[in-house]
Amino acid sequence: MTDAHTPPSRGRILVVDDQRNLRATTAMLLRAEHYTAFEAATGEEALAQLAGGSIDLLLTDLKMEPMDGLTLLKRALEVAPRLQVIMMTAFGSIESAVEAMRLGAYDYVTKPFKEGELRYRVERAMERSRLLRDVDNLATDFNQRHGLSSLVGRSPAMRDLTSRLMRVAQSDATVLIQGESGTGKELVARALHAHSRRKVRSFVPVNCAAISESLLESELFGHAKGAFTGAVKARRGLFEEADGGTLFIDEVTETSPTFQSKLLRALQEGEVRRVGESTALRVDVRTVAATNRDIEIEVREKRFRQDLYYRLNVVTLRVPPLRERLEDVPSLAEHFLERANARSPKPKRLSAAAVSHLMGYDFPGNVRELENLVEQAAALAEGDELLPEDFPLRQP
């Protein structure tokens, strides 16, 4: 049993050194700093302990036999890619320590080291370990909320969409999402981001239809102080906010030809110019655009630039309207009711008659309309069970 006055462990560290006295002394020093310290005399012994997956930091000697520190480093990072590694090396082996950092070690310390120096380097490495763990937790949480699980439905149309989404997610290809209003285009964009290598960076959405033409350029590209009336200070644009992540440009066909030309330039050059500035800023952004219009008609009618269309339409994802996947209505309705119940002291359940009633409707407002119907019914129905009369449907 742990003493109630014993401070909690600050982390788990594995000390590897073939010199028993030095290994034991180092471990004792770490325990005095309230770390949980384990010991291993060889690389093989260390790898066996690392296989358990609970070590935060590996503190290993460079010169050991039969497995040296560099070999242990490479094999350890194969077992635990997020592991932090500090190499202990004699002064004459600093070149090898630098090579170790090139191979993935976080830091090195020269022997004989002072307690304060070791303490400082260990604290830095442990802080990095905590930050990476936080990032992983955030990514997992984002994936649970915005990954494929958010795209409810097992119809053939949805299976085709999710299969295509997963194939394109790992690339950096620009994606154009097409679908009627209310089908869930932003959910698809978020799922793309959640399954991409950019998932630990920002997902930045912008709805072009919700922003006036005069403000849209400033919103996306930013502006310098004094660039226009009211620009009392410089402001980063959404391209900069999304650097390293994903920029979702919704309702892109609602923009003017003038704005389209500026957007095209930004996508082609990978850089943006703030309004009122001449200097270009490099940005690393994956662009996902969406529209509820038939964009090919918009191009033919000269309302949308053809060159921008080709730039955006590297990969197309079509989100089917709900009337084309009515078999998904029961699972969607249950999903929305579960969310409504989580906010209510009186949970409701769907009757079979209500589900049948909903499946006979073509949902001109798509998934958004179904969500509103379920939330309204959950809030207003008097009984515990939702019945057909709790869902007033629009007449054709």
- Ordered DSSP codes for 202-225: -EEEEEGGGS-HHHHHHHHHEE-T
User: Looking at the domain that runs over 147-320, which CATH code has it been given?
Assistant: 3.40.50.300
In this predicted structure, the answer to whether residue 148 has a pLDDT above a threshold of 70 is no
Q: Tell me how far apart the alpha carbons of residues 324 and 326 are, in angstroms, rounded to a whole number.
A: 6
Pairing between β-strand 349-350 and β-strand 385-386 as defined by DSSP bridges: parallel
Q: Tell me how far apart the alpha carbons of residues 150 and 143 are, in angstroms, rounded to a whole number.
A: 9
pLDDT tens for each residue of 58-114: 999 999 989 999 999 999 998 888 899 999 987 666 788 788 888 889 999 988 888
In this predicted structure, the answer to whether residue 388 has a pLDDT above a threshold of 60 is yes
Is the CB of residue 136 less than 8 Å from the CB of residue 80?
no
The residue among 345, 332, 322, 344 whose CA lies nearest residue 371 is: 332
In this predicted structure, the answer to whether residue 298 has a pLDDT above a threshold of 70 is yes
Phi, psi of 350 (to 5 degrees): -90, 135
In this predicted structure, the answer to whether residue 145 has a pLDDT above a threshold of 60 is no
> Which residues does 156 contact at the CB level (< 8 Å), separation at least 6?
none
Distances, alpha carbon 116 to alpha carbons 33, 70, 109, 124, 394, in Å? 11, 25, 11, 12, 73
Q: Tell me how far apart the alpha carbons of residues 218 and 206 are, in angstroms, rounded to a whole number.
A: 12
pLDDT tens for each residue of 306-364: 999 999 999 999 999 999 999 999 989 998 999 899 888 888 999 999 999 999 999 99
Mean pLDDT, residues 114-135 taken together: 85
| β-sheet bridge partners, residue 272 | 281
Number of H helices, E strands in the chain: 15, 16
Give the pair of three-digit tokens for residue 93: 């082996």
> Domains of the chain: which residue ranges?
12-140, 147-320, 324-390
CA dihedral 368, 372, 374, 376 (to 10 degrees): 180
Tell whether domain 12-140 is in CATH 3.40.50.1010: no
CB atoms within 10 A of CB 269: 12
> From the centroid of its chain, how far is CA 66?
42
Tell whether domain 324-390 is in CATH 1.10.8.60: yes
Give the pair of three-digit tokens for residue 196: 């991409």
In this predicted structure, the answer to whether residue 279 has a pLDDT above a threshold of 90 is no
Alpha-helical regions (H) of 94-212? 94-102, 115-146, 156-169, 185-194
**How is residue 12 annotated by DSSP?**
E
pLDDT tens for each residue of 355-376: 999 999 999 999 999 999 999 9
Is the CB of residue 177 less than 8 Å from the CB of residue 191?
no
95: left (phi over 0), alpha (psi -120 to 50) or beta: alpha
Is the CB of residue 168 less than 8 Å from the CB of residue 198?
no
Asked if 12-140 and 147-320 have one fold, the answer is yes
Q: Which helix (H) or strand (E) holds 22?
A: helix 20-32
- Of residues 279 and 265, more confidence is placed in 265
Q: Which helix (H) or strand (E) holds 272?
A: strand 271-273
In this predicted structure, the answer to whether residue 226 has a pLDDT above a threshold of 50 is yes
Half-sphere exposure (CA, 13 Å, Cβ side) for 194?
23
Mean pLDDT, residues 262-288 taken together: 92
Q: Tell me how far apart the alpha carbons of residues 295 and 287 are, in angstroms, rounded to a whole number.
A: 17
Give the pair of three-digit tokens for residue 386: 């939702």
Pairing between β-strand 175-178 and β-strand 315-318 as defined by DSSP bridges: parallel
Q: Tell me how far apart the alpha carbons of residues 223 and 217 are, in angstroms, rounded to a whole number.
A: 9
Is the CB of residue 387 less than 8 Å from the CB of residue 353?
yes
**pLDDT tier at 134, thresholds 50, 70, 90:** low
Q: Which amino acid is at 131?
A: L
Q: Which helix (H) or strand (E) holds 243?
A: none
The residue among 140, 165, 139, 168 whose CA lies nearest residue 151 is: 165
